[in-house]
Structure 1
Amino acid sequence: MPIKAILGLSDSADTDWTRLRGLQLSTVGHHARIRMAAHLILGLITVWTFQGSFNIVGLLMWFTALASLHIRGGLADQKLVHAERKRMSNREFQRHLVTPVGSGVIWAAAILVFAPFAELAQQVTLWSAVAVLIAASILFYSAAPMGLFVFALITGTASAISFLLQGHFEMVLLVAAMVATALAGSVEIARTSLASRISEGRVSEKDEVVSMLLREFEENEADWLWQIDTSRRVRSVSPRFAYALGRQQDEAEGRPLFDLIGGKNLEPAEMHPSMHELIDYMKQQENFSNLLVRVQIRGERRWWELSGTPIRDKHGNFSGFRGVGSDVTEQRESSEKIAYLARFDTLTSLPNRMQVNESLGEALIHADQWKSSCAFLMIDLDRFKAVNDSLGHQVGDKLLAQVSQRLQSLMGDGQLCGRLGGDEFAVVIRDASNRKVVSEVANKIITLLSKPYRVDDQTLHVGASVGSAIGPRDGATVEELMRNADLALYKAKDNGRGGHFGYVPSLHASAEERRQLELSLREALDREELTLQFQPVVSSKDGSIVSFEALSRWNSQEHGFVSPGKFIPIAEDTRLIVPIGKWVMREACEEARNWPEHVKVNVNVSPEQLLEDNFADEVVDCLAATGLRPERLEIEVTESIFLRDASIARAALEQVLALGCQVALDDFGTGYSSLGYIRKLRFSTIKVDRTFVKGAAQHNAESLAIIRAVVAMAQSLDMTTTAEGAETTEEVELIRRLGCDKIQGFYFGRPMTAADARRLFRTREELKRA
């Protein structure tokens, strides 16, 4: 502690002196009365000593000044008793110097005024009184020595001057030595005193913290103190511990602890492992902390968190255990629930993606250790989205719950099924050394999941596609194996769904090709790589052209001619079909302006495009820009649009119909046919898929019945029918006999360029003229 800081002349940067100033002034306040009494008593002695040598009135005036100063100062200093709790600045610290400065001046006046008129004995008495006050001030100002400094310097200087004027040089030296000693001693005493006060303050703070913690502990109803003796019988049962035991204090006192928390006749084999752990600690007389123990309290299962330490007497002999405990049942159940949610799917109660990943990782490690194989199967439900969109998510969730039950029923030893998310499930087969196991499990899954489901009095049909990968052959890591199984699943769905496909390395090439195609397709419109071709639709009566179906073709700079079967699914998956569809409609309408007025143009519209908020506005803009009459535009849609969002699709098509355009239902009978939307929405045309045409040509009774039913329904609803895929004379004649209004197929023309389509009309005109 620097001397200047102790004296209050400056503050050191590394110490909070505003706090220490309070400690210093607190000491001054404690000695205020003693200091006041000492000055008054010595003042009276001085007056008594000089009464014969000096005017009594002057002496009384001097004493009155001394008494007034110290009474006022003493009362003010007494208020500093509690200053240790405050923070005080240097300015506040220096205010207390008023009394020692004034007192020094008054005593100096006595030395300089009274001494010249007094005898040597009287002077010695006065100096002795001052010396006593200087010495006593070392105690009075033990922590704040600045008061002693100013008092000693003022009175010492006055005494030295007085003795010097009288020629007592030896007394001058004596005064100087005493003042210097007092000042030096006061600094050391102040440093020691202040350090002591700081230590006391710290101890006091610690006591307050400990007391606060104890009060908080006592007030916390979830915790209690417990104690047992060497026989493990509970002692000094506190009210809270008794409450935790579900008993009264006197009922629990002296009872064996393990009878109270485990059951009186509980066998060791029936104990929870945590109870055995607690017993081991007590047998070995070891400390334990935050030990989770499952207990039975009055037949109810609870979780306690216990800490304990062995009790030993002064001779080191073990005399029991003492500790604290708390009931953490709710926290434990909450953490168990969180752990469950982290590893299990809440809807199906199957292991979730994280647990499936862990299980697959363990299977790969096992396969590597034993030089065997494991397998991973990815399962995707077919037609589930249609159920979810048409019947709602609640029905979809109930269906998923039934699917999970069926999957679980198929699992054998070393097999685990889980839900990856949505309608995707997975199966981990720990031992797939016999490759037949994989195909057998996959086929069982497809067969069982394809059986009808009964949900809310409705019969639902969904299927399943399965992709599989063998580890470590098809992937040495979890990520590789899952990615390759996903590629196999995609291939299974691409092959027509409802089947199983095992991973082969060539799938990577297909995936890479798809990725490259997607990148190129994103730039196809800007590069003007897309073109339109037109396939004629003719009247079944006279073979005249009534419309053309616009078909998009892609001739890529990087990949050459790309089949629509490849790039259209990619466009739909990436939503590139929306800008492509807009372009097709605009180009088709523009080209239709070059045809005769009675010839229509058919434009296929994807569900992604139809479900756009502004689809009807786009049709209006297209017709306005090209000048094509609305009745010459026929929008072709498939039944799948009504499985996405039937209300939005119907509203969009009704707006299109209101414009005067026509709407055709394409591929009728191949999807999820429902007569409900045919009744609600007046289609202009129903197109019979080519599979029924080919079947009818082969005398398939079912195909014939379907075509007859479609024709009859269309006629009753004032709709026309178009048969697709006519390639032979026999098929054309059959279609005419069955009553279809229009025919489309290679027999009448393959998809052709716009120029070739125009040439057809010129040729027909030339033939008519001829």
Structure 2
Amino acid sequence: MTNRRTSTASFANDLLTLLGLRDGADAAEWGRIRATQLDAARRLVPLHVAVNALGALAAAMLLRGTAPLWQIGVWTLATIAIALGVGARRLLSHHRGDGYASGHDVRRTAWEGVAMALSWAALLVWFGPGLDAGALAGIGIIVAVLMTSAAVTMAPLALATFAYLAGIAAAGIAILASHHLYPAAFGMALFAALLVTICFGRARALVTIRASQIVLAERDETVSLLLREFEESSADWLWETDAARRVVKASPRFAFACGLDPVSINGLPFLQVLAGPSWESGNFAAGLRSLADKLKSRESFRDLRLPIHVNGEERWWELSASPRFDESGAFSGFRGVGSDVTEQRASADKINRMARFDPLTGLPNRLMINETLVRAMAESDKWGGRCGFMMIDLDRFKAVNDTLGHPIGDRLLSRVSERLAQLMSANEMCGRLGGDEFAVVVRNAADITMMERLAREIIETLSRPYEIDQHTLIIGASVGLAVGPRDGRTAEMLIRSADLALYRAKDAGRGVFHAYEPALHVQAEERRVLEMALRQALENGELHLNYQPVVDAGTGNLKGFEALVRWNSPKFGNVSPAKFIPLAEESRLIKPIGEWVLRAACDEAAKWPGHVRVAVNVSPDQLQNANFVNVVASALANSGLSADRLELEVTESVFMHEGLGATKTLERVLDLGVKLSLDDFGTGYSSLGYLSRTRFSSIKIDRSFVQGAAKGVKEAIAIIRAVVALAQSLGMATTAEGVETEAEHKLVQELGCTKVQGYYFGRPLPVDEARALAGRRWDDVRAA
């Protein structure tokens, strides 16, 4: 139903446009078509006037004896005058076939049809009732001839023709009906409808032909413009050859582009002109050989590029051509166009280099590395060989960027790339993946020991000191190896395998290389699944806190608790903190988890007696959050816990992020009244500078020193004594971690530790047990 409505609407629109009652979609094109309609009707004026004049005279002869002569004479003269007037008006029209006319011009012609229809209708209405059957038949024949003639002579102006035919047909039908000649009236109506249909078809054909002519004319004009542009341009030209592939009709532009005289170039072999000095030696470019094959096989070609030497300079041309054939179908040569695309090619090469080379180091970038690896894998698969891929990550590079700034970091990356490039042979290609990550593609990795030896050389070379702007910089490198197709049958899989191996190398302590093992993929998948579960753990309430007592080393009185987060997963059970805390830091989940731990610990500590503190561990990532101080203040305010009862524990790794403002963040936290404790002292970088710059309230001695001292290790005992002395001199307390036996307790007492924490005094307790224990002396609990 919808299609039928659309078709009907389209037909109505076409008819209205053809009649001039509606403007077309393209006003300019329809203006030219309507001018053609008017011009075609003007050309048929003599025939139209002659038919109407002869018809009027013939009708006058038939009317003799049926009406007064003066009436017949008046009608005859009036009819001929109207026909002459219409003809004169059309002949005097200024519209020509190549001009423009409006819809109004076409609509005005309807009055011509109406005037002529009225003159002939007057004949039928005025004289028709008094006519006998014979005269009426004669008049009918004349009218039929007139209507047929109008369908021919007035067809270009369809609106005028429809008005003319409708007027005469209406009068004729009325007269025939008044004589009770109903079949004849019906025949008259059917005849008029047939003529209208024929007229509409002819008018539509005229419009279609004219529209096609306009399109062809525009196309010819476009081609002419293009040809003129080719001739006038300094970079484009036309060329033509005969059947023997010799240059004919050489244009001045073509001769100039070849560096030859326009006269002497005619008759020369086209390939010789293009080959230049290499014609004698036969050392042709591949593009010229392709052109020779096309010319020999008489095939059309487009955008064929080849190098040309003009006056000792290499230029690049782009040629397109088609074969020509004469009237008998015989091959007569080629005709084509040429362009000098030297500059475009240079720009394309520059863009290609920018797209495939790193602007900072000049090494291939990720895109080119991937393309090279794909080709290497295809070659190894073709010949049954192996290729290799290495991923390199710089160790401690971020610290250089944070402390000395990005300009120094960029210069360091440039020096790293220079050292890396010097290690490459024709079998390897190195590039920069981005940031401080580099890669090496080994095209032939049949010798695995060779790859391992190269990995060691890379680590050793990149780990040597760098001298940049009076700074001695020492970084390192970790390398992951993968060999295809063993470790991956596609470039993406091989890169993934090398990335997993690099991850294992960094876990192993950095500064080493590690080859891919299938188990790494399994572990990576486990980590991915575990990470997905951890992301839901906080929302699902799977995390909870345990609290480990911290007691006075001398009296055994409870001083506080350390809040320790635990994860009981429905899928994985109780997950060790040593497993999910590093995962949370890597996946950036430590911030929301750390905030939850801080708020939950403050809420719980607010329910304890006022002398019992709570200690909460804070990761370096949390301190990088500019909103961390507000989080601490909000947790204290919402819980009602006084600031001096909250102790935040940080490790020495926090100060490796000093360039990110960790120290300033800690100072702002201390200004709130919160206590600060340095955890795991002695196991990290152990710089004394930040101890003097940061107001720590206590230092926690790592359990490894406590256990070593209990076994009589002199170095461990000396370290504990040094830390205690240092803490006393700075007014700080010392907490010994990991005390598990009475002997260890007595030892740390003797060494001067002020607080003790460990299984000897209590394991991490659920919240209810910790709440019950709060405020009681430890020796009272033991006695009970």
Q: Please say whether Structure 1 and Structure 2 have the same fold, judged by a TM-score greater than 0.5.
A: yes
Q: Does 1:753 align with 2:758?
A: no
2:500–2:524: 8 Å Cα contact kept in structure 1? yes
State how 1:296-335 maps to structure 2 within 5 Å.
Answer: 296-311=309-324, 320-335=333-348
After TM superposition, give the deviation of residue 497 of structure 1 in Å.
1.6
Over 3 Å counting, the alpha-carbon distance change for 1:601 and 1:257 in structure 2 is same
Look up the match of 2:449: 436
- What letter is aligned with 1:489? L
Determine which of 632, 643, 658 is the counterpart of 1:619.
632
Most deviating of 451-460 and 242-251? 242-251
After TM superposition, give the deviation of residue 606 of structure 1 in Å.
1.3
Q: Partners of 1:730 and 1:187 in 2: how far apart?
A: 117
Determine which of 197, 201, 215 is the counterpart of 1:205.
215
Determine which of 531, 538, 544 is the counterpart of 1:530.
544
- What letter is aligned with 2:220? V
Look up the match of 1:496: 509
Q: Partners of 1:157 and 1:589 in 2: how far apart?
A: 106
Over 3 Å counting, the alpha-carbon distance change for 1:229 and 1:680 in structure 2 is farther
Describe the SS at the equivalent of 1:530. strand
CA deviation map 1:708-741 (0-9, x unaligned): 69977x788x56374766879899989988xx87
Look up the match of 2:423: 410
Q: Partners of 1:760 and 1:259 in 2: how far apart?
A: 102
Q: Partners of 1:708 and 1:453 in 2: how far apart?
A: 35
Q: Does 1:720 align with 2:720?
A: no
Q: Number of aligned pairs?
A: 737
State how 1:256-655 maps to structure 2 within 5 Å.
Answer: 263-264=276-277, 271-311=284-324, 320-337=333-350, 339-340=352-353, 343-364=356-377, 366-367=379-380, 372-522=385-535, 524-525=537-538, 526-527=540-541, 529-534=543-548, 536=550, 549-554=562-567, 556=569, 558-589=571-602, 600-641=613-654, 643-644=656-657, 646-655=659-668
Give the TM-score normalised by the residue count of structure 2: 0.73
Q: Partners of 2:144 and 2:616 in 1: how far apart?
A: 120
Q: Partners of 1:590 and 1:667 in 2: how far apart?
A: 26
Identity in percent = 40
CA deviation map 1:177-227 (0-9, x unaligned): 999999999987996786477445524432332223432453474643223
Over 3 Å counting, the alpha-carbon distance change for 1:24 and 1:231 in structure 2 is closer
Look up the match of 1:4: none
After TM superposition, give the deviation of residue 498 of structure 1 in Å.
1.6
Determine which of 94, 102, 119 is the counterpart of 2:118.
102
Describe the SS at the equivalent of 2:394. strand
1:345–1:351: 8 Å Cα contact kept in structure 2? yes
1:148–1:183: 8 Å Cα contact kept in structure 2? no
Q: Partners of 1:725 and 1:584 in 2: how far apart?
A: 21
2:608–2:774: 8 Å Cα contact kept in structure 1? no
Most deviating of 587-596 and 435-444? 587-596
Over 3 Å counting, the alpha-carbon distance change for 1:536 and 1:138 in structure 2 is closer
Over 3 Å counting, the alpha-carbon distance change for 1:299 and 1:370 in structure 2 is closer
Describe the SS at the equivalent of 1:628. coil
Determine which of 226, 244, 267 is the counterpart of 2:239.
226
- What letter is aligned with 1:205? V
- What letter is aligned with 1:753? L
After TM superposition, give the deviation of residue 565 of structure 1 in Å.
2.0
CA deviation map 1:605-629 (0-9, x unaligned): 1123233343222222332344433
CA RMSD in angstroms, aligned pairs only: 5.7
Over 3 Å counting, the alpha-carbon distance change for 1:378 and 1:723 in structure 2 is farther
1:604–1:636: 8 Å Cα contact kept in structure 2? yes
1:353–1:418: 8 Å Cα contact kept in structure 2? yes
Over 3 Å counting, the alpha-carbon distance change for 1:242 and 1:645 in structure 2 is farther
Q: Which runs of 5+ in 2 are unaligned?
A: 1-7, 20-33, 180-186
Over 3 Å counting, the alpha-carbon distance change for 1:265 and 1:486 in structure 2 is closer
Q: Which runs of 5+ in 1 are unaligned?
A: 1-9, 165-176
Over 3 Å counting, the alpha-carbon distance change for 1:581 and 1:350 in structure 2 is same
After TM superposition, give the deviation of residue 590 of structure 1 in Å.
5.3
Q: Partners of 2:310 and 2:721 in 1: how far apart?
A: 76
Describe the SS at the equivalent of 2:511. coil
Q: Partners of 2:599 and 2:310 in 1: how far apart?
A: 79
Over 3 Å counting, the alpha-carbon distance change for 1:345 and 1:109 in structure 2 is same
1:487–1:507: 8 Å Cα contact kept in structure 2? yes
Most deviating of 40-49 and 523-532? 40-49
After TM superposition, give the deviation of residue 277 of structure 1 in Å.
2.0
Q: Partners of 1:204 and 1:619 in 2: how far apart?
A: 80
Most deviating of 553-562 and 240-249? 240-249
- What letter is aligned with 2:458? I
CA deviation map 1:533-561 (0-9, x unaligned): 4363767x999876654443445555455
Over 3 Å counting, the alpha-carbon distance change for 1:372 and 1:732 in structure 2 is farther
CA deviation map 1:428-470 (0-9, x unaligned): 3344343322322222222222223344553333222222234
After TM superposition, give the deviation of residue 522 of structure 1 in Å.
4.2
Q: Does 1:660 align with 2:668?
A: no
Over 3 Å counting, the alpha-carbon distance change for 1:299 and 1:698 in structure 2 is farther
2:302–2:319: 8 Å Cα contact kept in structure 1? yes
Q: Partners of 1:625 and 1:153 in 2: how far apart?
A: 99
Q: Partners of 1:128 and 1:524 in 2: how far apart?
A: 101
Over 3 Å counting, the alpha-carbon distance change for 1:735 and 1:368 in structure 2 is farther
Over 3 Å counting, the alpha-carbon distance change for 1:674 and 1:360 in structure 2 is same
After TM superposition, give the deviation of residue 520 of structure 1 in Å.
4.5
After TM superposition, give the deviation of residue 399 of structure 1 in Å.
3.3
- What letter is aligned with 1:463? G
Look up the match of 1:174: none
2:612–2:645: 8 Å Cα contact kept in structure 1? yes
After TM superposition, give the deviation of residue 579 of structure 1 in Å.
3.4
- What letter is aligned with 2:435? G
Look up the match of 1:170: none
Look up the match of 1:173: none
Describe the SS at the equivalent of 2:648. strand
2:698–2:735: 8 Å Cα contact kept in structure 1? no
After TM superposition, give the deviation of residue 240 of structure 1 in Å.
5.0
Q: Partners of 1:611 and 1:517 in 2: how far apart?
A: 25
State how 1:663-702 maps to structure 2 within 5 Å.
Answer: 663-667=676-680, 681-685=694-698
Give the TM-score normalised by the residue count of structure 1: 0.74
Q: Partners of 1:516 and 1:47 in 2: how far apart?
A: 107
Describe the SS at the equivalent of 1:97. helix
Most deviating of 44-53 and 525-534? 44-53
After TM superposition, give the deviation of residue 568 of structure 1 in Å.
1.0
Most deviating of 755-764 and 452-461? 755-764
After TM superposition, give the deviation of residue 281 of structure 1 in Å.
3.1
- What letter is aligned with 1:212? T
Over 3 Å counting, the alpha-carbon distance change for 1:87 and 1:508 in structure 2 is same
Over 3 Å counting, the alpha-carbon distance change for 1:70 and 1:674 in structure 2 is farther
CA deviation map 1:310-350 (0-9, x unaligned): 45666777665321123444554455455545554454444
